[in-house]
Chain A
Amino acid sequence: MSSHDFKRDLLAAMPSLRAFAISLAGKVDRADDLVQETLTKAWAHQNSYTPGTNLRAWLFTILRNEFYTTLRKRGREVEDADGEIALNVGVHPSQDGHMDMNDMKSALAKLPADQREALLLVSASDMSYEEAAAICGVAVGTIKSRVNRARAKLADLLHLTDGSVYGPDAGTMAALTNQRP
C-alpha cells in the first residue's frame, strides 16, 4: 500500500476515530492530542498494517492503548474528583428536541471506562463484538457483558423505560424482556 493510499484511508477513518477519542477521553483537547499521537504512530508503523484488514479497528487499538498509557502516566489526576469526566464536547442539541445531547454526554461520562468503550465500539462505531473484543484485548463474552451493563446503566440515567419509549405497555414488554430474539 502506497503512502498516498494510506494517507487517504487515514483521512477517511478520521471522523470516526475522533468521535471515539472524544467520547472516550471526554475532553476535546485531550481527545485531539490522542488522535495526533495515533496518527503519528500509525504513520510510523504503516508497514505493520495489513491492507484489506479493518483499518479503523487497527487505529482504534492504537488510540485506545495510547489513552490508557497516558491515563496511567498521569495517575488518577485526570479523573475529576467525583469520578466524572467533564464532557465538553462541541455538539449541538438536536433540532427536534427529541433528545438533549448533554444528557447523553453526561450519562456516558458516568459509565466506567471499560463499559463506555465497549458500548461506543459496538453501538456507535459499528464494530462487531469480535472486533471490539480484539481492540480491547478481552473475550467476546466480556464485551457483551460490558455492553449490557452499559446499556442498563445508560437507560437508567436517561430514564428510558419501555413505557417512555413506546407508550405504557410495560406489562407486555416485561414479559418480552426475558425472551431472546
Chain B
Amino acid sequence: MTSKPTKPHTKSKTAARVPTTVERSLGQQLKTYYDGITNQEIPDRFLQLLQELDEKTS
C-alpha cells in the first residue's frame, strides 16, 4: 500500500477501501448477523402498542 501522507480532515474523498473480497465477506457476515435479529418475532409489546394507538385514533 502506498502511503501518501494525508491529513485526517482534509479533502481526501473517502477513506481507503478494503479489498473487494473482504468487503463482500464482511457484508455477508453483517447480513447473517442482522438476519438473526430481523428473523426474531416482533415482541408483543409493539403489537399491543400499535393496537392501542390504532384504537385511540379511530
Residues of A within 8 A of B (CB): 3-4, 7, 10-11, 14-16, 18-19, 22-23, 32, 35-36, 39-40, 43, 89-92, 94, 99, 101, 104-105, 108, 119-120, 123-125, 141, 144-145, 148-149, 151-152, 154-155, 158, 160-162, 165-166, 173-174, 176-178, 181
Contacts and interface: CB of A to CB of B under 8 A. Distances in A.
19 contacts: A3-B54, A3-B58, A7-B50, A15-B37, A15-B42, A16-B38, A18-B37, A19-B34, A19-B38, A32-B43, A36-B49, A89-B36, A99-B32, A105-B33, A124-B33, A148-B15, A148-B17, A165-B22, A173-B21
Contact of A123 (B30, B50, B54): B30
Nearest to B15: A148
B14 A144 contact: yes
Contacts of B23: 151
Contacts of A19: 34, 37-38
Given A158-B29, A162-B19, A35 B46 contact: yes
Contact of B14 (A14, A22, A148, A166): A148
A18 B46 CA distance: 10
Nearest to B23: A151
A4 to B, nearest CB: 7
A99 B29 contact: yes
A160 B33 contact: no
B19 to A, nearest CB: 5
Interface in B1-37: 1-2, 13-27, 29-34, 36-37
Contacts of B13: 141, 144-145
Contacts of B34: 19, 23, 120, 124-125
